[in-house]
Amino acid sequence: QKEVEQDPGPLSVPEGAIVSLNCTYSNSAFQYFMWYRQYSRKGPELLMYTYSSGNKEDGRFTAQVDKSSKYISLFIRDSQPSDSATYLCAMSAGSNDYKLSFGAGTTVTVRA
Amino acid sequence: NAGVTQTPKFQVLKTGQSMTLQCAQDMNHNSMYWYRQDPGMGLRLIYYSASEGTTDKGEVPNGYNVSRLNKREFSLRLESAAPSQTSVYFCASRTGVGLAHNEQFFGPGTRLTVL
């Protein structure tokens, strides 16, 4: 079983819909949680960064972390065609953990 | 700042050929990484360098070697390429300081095909 599980989709939604993405993990030591966005034929870029449990909002994007359930989510409100991309969750343990554990990525298409 | 740069962008090799993928970062980061990305597999760590002068194996190191040439540059070498190494290769670097110290910055990738 993988350390980080993410449904690869693909997910197709109409413009303006709410996109809901999630990952589950097995390592209770994870404390830092990230969402990366990757456009086709590009490198991943950081979208959201959270520490421990709770919510974080940035514009149309909201990241949630539930450490008790080992479950993280990313919500995209009022989705736009420009949000069409692959979204990867990533996580790491302590400050001295040099490595990130990635989910497989979910491919999202927002239809105009 | 150019961020993380990778060369070449594309490469086609025949089985058994060797090549080196180059990576450089201009953000003064201490840690650098090499990943491969295959459909449905996400990003898998090949090797990483926590700091200049050190390298460590990641999840899938077999068939690869690395060199941390200096703080800026981290190269990945395939000594005898195999079709199983057909993939997209990403280099990344990590600041290691500040609130988002675990954030990794990625290069544009190298698309490698081994025939």
Amino acid, single-letter form, for residue A89: C
Q: Does residue A77 carry a pLDDT above 70? A: yes
Q: What is the pLDDT of residues B16-74, one digit of tens each?
A: 999 999 999 999 999 999 999 998 888 999 999 998 989 999 999 999 999 998 999 99
Residues of chain B contacting residue A34, judged by C-beta atoms under 8 Å apart = 102-103
Q: How confident is the model at residue A95 (pLDDT cuts 50, 70, 90)?
A: low
Tokens matching residue B13: 């090799």
CA-nearest residue to A89 within chain B is B42
Percent of chain A with pLDDT over 70: 98
Q: Does residue A35 carry a pLDDT above 70? A: yes
Residues of chain A contacting residue B27, judged by C-beta atoms under 8 Å apart = none
B-proximal residues of A, 81-110, CB under 8 Å: 88, 90, 92, 95, 97-100, 102-105
